[in-house]
Each structure stands twice: as C-alpha cells, then as structure tokens.
Amino acid sequence: MSVRIIKSDERLIHQIGDTKFYYKRISSDRASAVRRKYTVRGEVDGGKVGFDILETHLLGWENVLDWDDKPVPFSVENIRLIPDEVLGEIITAIGSADGTLARTVEQAVSKQDKTEKNS
C-alpha cells in the first residue's frame, strides 16, 4: 500500500452501515495547532478538540436519519447530534495522518467521564 499525501480538496468516505460520512484528513501541523488551542495548564479539552476538527474536516454525509426515518441535513449544528461512538470513529479516520489526534481526544474524554462519575 502506498502513502498518499493530504490534498486540500480531498474528499474521502468513512462508511458505517448504510451511512456515508465524507471527510478530509488532518495534517500533523493542523492537529498540533488545534491541540495547543484547547490546552490550558497542560490539560487538553478533548471535546473542544474533537468538535473543532469535525467542524472543519467533516464535509458531509448521506443516510443520517432521525427517529422518523427522515434524512437529517448536514450542518455544523447537526454534527453534535451524532452519537459519540460514531463521532469517535470519524475523528479516527480524519486523524489517520496524525495518529495522536484520536488518542488525545479519547484520553481527554475518558478523563472527563471519570470526573463526571466521581461528582
């Protein structure tokens, strides 16, 4: 398998069941900049990192449905309605050029979940 560079106009597909998510990968430089943007006193806010990446690198979708089986239009607002486990898969695909991105988001979200359970 050959390595492919990241193109500014790339449009890749991540399929989950019958649903297709269109995205572009993130460069290591961009991923690092986003992590820095949401790091305060050495703590990374994984949720903010994740949604920043999704808002700029998730390009669209097909066959995302509401509970009445009606299509949900793609929008930044509707990204937040997608279940977390699905968003995690998409972030992993987007961050495939920078393997630390998904781990950063996963670790921060895991830490946040533990904090909420202890509250």
> By the 8 A CB rule, do 35 and 104 touch?
yes
Query: Which neighbouring-strand residues pair with 62?
Result: 20
> By the 8 A CB rule, do 107 and 38 touch?
no
Write out the two tokens for 65. Answer: 């449905």
pLDDT band at residue 57 under the 50/70/90 scheme: very high
> Mean pLDDT across the stretch 55-74?
96
Query: How many Cβ atoms are within 10 Å of 24's Cβ, its own excluded?
Result: 18
Residue type for position 7:
K
The overall average pLDDT reported for the chain is 83
pTM of the model: 0.75
